[in-house]
Amino acid sequence: METLLEFDGRIVVWLNGGIGRFAGLDWAAYLAVSDYFVPLAMCFWMLGLWFFGKDCQERGRNQKAVLAAAIALGFANLAVLLLDQAIFRGRPFTRFDLATLFYEPTDSSFPANPAAVAFAVATA
């Protein structure tokens, strides 16, 4: 496990070396890795899908898909909660001297909630 964390650390330090060089890239990264962007984007996408459809039948299919995605979101959040209780993986900034683009979260870095949300919605 230590070898994996060491390898992961080298990648994070390399990626972190680019912070501050390109403001546009920093902004895009800030948006893409925000804890709120992915879940909100998925929720707004599902809200739009709920009302979208050429006819009543298509809207009905879309609404069933949104309900399935909402149920999958619940299970994904439950899985994240249970895994966070069982396995704690510290954030890279606690082990390395890194520049950060936003706040330093204190929860476990694995599993990532935005990744779980995206996976749940994509597979529902």
Residue at token pair 């704690």: 88
The pTM for the full model equals: 0.69
Closest CA to 82 of 105, 104, 108: 108
Residue 117 pLDDT: 83
Name the CA radius of gyration of the chain, rounded: 18
Query: Which tokens is 47 given?
Result: 């809200």
Q: What are phi and psi of 107, to 5 degrees?
A: -80, 175
**Tens-binned pLDDT, residue by residue, of the chain (124 aa):** 678 778 878 888 888 887 888 888 888 888 877 777 878 888 899 999 999 999 999 999 999 999 999 999 999 989 988 988 888 777 767 777 777 767 666 676 677 777 888 888 888 7
Residue 6 pLDDT: 80
Q: 7: exposed, middle or buried (C-beta count within 10 Å: 0-12, 13-18, 19+)?
A: exposed
Residue 48 pLDDT: 95
- DSSP SS3 for 46: helix
Residue 7 one-letter amino acid:
F
Residue 101 pLDDT: 67
Tally helices (H) and strands (E) across the chain. 6, 0
